[in-house]
Amino acid sequence: MNEKIHPTAILTNCTLWDSVSVGPFCMLSDTILGDNVTIEGNVCIEQSNIGNNCEILWWSIIRDSSLAEWCVIGCEVKKSHLGKHNKAKHPWTTIVNTTSGEKVNFWGGWKCANYDGRGKGHFIIGDNIFLGSNSVVSVRADETTTIHTGSKIGANIHISQDIPEYSLVYVDRESGKVTVRDGYYRKK
């Protein structure tokens, strides 16, 4: 074991594999950290599984979640499973009740609104997805909102419907309405 644990970090009931680094003022409990995991300062992780080669940035909060290999997280993740090579580097991003595929890029301010006043729903995000800044995806109680593989979501958008594969979603400059261009990125 080649661990670097800062003296101010508090680890309770955690399993650490090889080459783990935990920075100052971190609180980790009931968590498994894979090989080559780097955790910067002021991070809180509870009841989670962090895959190999992940990087957890300053001020992150991860609860009841699992991260596959090579994720870079700098935000709040709760009750979610993120696939390989997911990136959510911005502290104002909130990912809850989400299952994502590989290579999903969550930009700053992306929010998952999973409570509609009656109950909570779930989100499924496919592979190779770009999710723009300050956008919100919402879901009704006991339902699922899906963003299918290869889609790109622009900035400042509210999504409350399923998005088809390889779609482009943006705000039309003239009308100000959200436009979904189905199959825009499909290879011909």
**Three-state SS letters, 30-89:** CCEECCCCEECCCCEEECCEECCCCEECCCCEEECCEECCCCEECCEEECCEECCCCEEC
* Whether residue 86 is found in the same domain as residue 176: yes
Catalytic residue among 90, 122, 148, 158: 90
Sheet architecture: strand order including 32-33: 15-16, 32-33, 49-50, 66-67, 81-82, 98-100, 122-125, 144-147
What per-residue confidence (pLDDT) applies to 1? 59
- Does one domain contain both 21 and 111? no
pTM across the whole model: 0.94
Helix, strand, coil percentages (3-state) for the chain, rounded to 5, are 0, 40, 60
158 in catalytic set: no
Final residue of a structural domain among 46, 69, 92: 69
133 shares a domain with 53: no
Quick one: 131 and 156 in the same domain? yes
One domain, residues 60 and 91: no
Strand partners of residue 5: 22
Same domain, 93 and 162: yes
Looking at residue 188, its pLDDT comes to 56
Q: What is the pLDDT of residue 186?
A: 87
Mean pLDDT computed over every residue of the chain = 96
Residue range of the domain that includes 4: 1-69
Can you list the residues of the chain whose pLDDT is less than 50? Answer: none
